[in-house]
Amino acid sequence: MTIASSEQIAERYRRVRDEVGERVTVVVASKYVSAEEMAGLAEAGVEVVGENRAQDLDLKHAAYGDTFRWHFIGHLQSNKVKVVNRFCELVHSLSSESAATRLTVPALLEVNLAEEGTKSGVSPVEIASFLLRFPSIRGLMTMPPLAADPEASRPYFRRLAEVAAEHELPELSMGTSQDYRVAVEEGATLIRIGEALFKAH
């Protein structure tokens, strides 16, 4: 992907921030940018970044440290938990007991609402037992099936909000570039934005 100019990124980030309001945390999905390019994110006023890979997290954290607050949004392998424990304030994508057992930072449980076999995430019926065993779970995250129309995501977001409320979980990580507006309408407290900021048109 060709990355937009840092001025463009700054302008788009400001626009998203204004749109979603103070109560929603904008997590910038930084898998699209190199460690060097992350300097532009700091200039743009980005506070929270979400990494998909422990290796990248390690590398980028070494370069930027406390310039950002670090979240982990990728598939979490239990042998990579150590790095995440060291640097992250929140994991969005917890979906295995082996990772949960090793994790020492707060997490959201990734839920596979569409029950798509190809996707990671626990099934809704597994949530209760995870919460019993792992009290550091603060909320839920989901990735709805890919769709061109953002409205197609609404039933999944609404369902996730209902399930979180049933379990008295305050945090909801839902919505990406194409459907974050819908997610915020349905109660997202964290959105994860990549392409809408970075893609050069």
Ligand X SMILES: *Cc1c(COP(=O)(O)O)cnc(C)c1O
The residue ranges that bind ligand X (CB under 6 A) are 29, 31, 52, 73, 176-177, 192-196
Give the number of other CB atoms < 10 A from CB of residue 23: 8
Q: Which is nearer to ligand X, 128 or 195 (CB)?
A: 195
Q: How far is the CB of 27 from ligand X (least distance, A)?
A: 8
Q: Which is nearer to ligand X, 144 or 194 (CB)?
A: 194
Q: Cβ(84)–Cβ(57) under 8 Å?
A: yes
Residue closest to ligand X, measured at CB: 194
Q: Which is nearer to ligand X, 73 or 160 (CB)?
A: 73
Q: Which is nearer to ligand X, 52 or 153 (CB)?
A: 52
User: Residue 102 CA to chain centroid, in angstroms?
Assistant: 20
Q: Where are the alpha helices (DSSP H) in 21-113?
A: 38-43, 54-64, 81-87, 97-102
Q: How far is the CB of 162 from ligand X (least distance, A)?
A: 21
- Contacts of residue 10, defined as CB under 8 A and 6 or more positions apart, other chains included, come to 40, 43, 44, 45
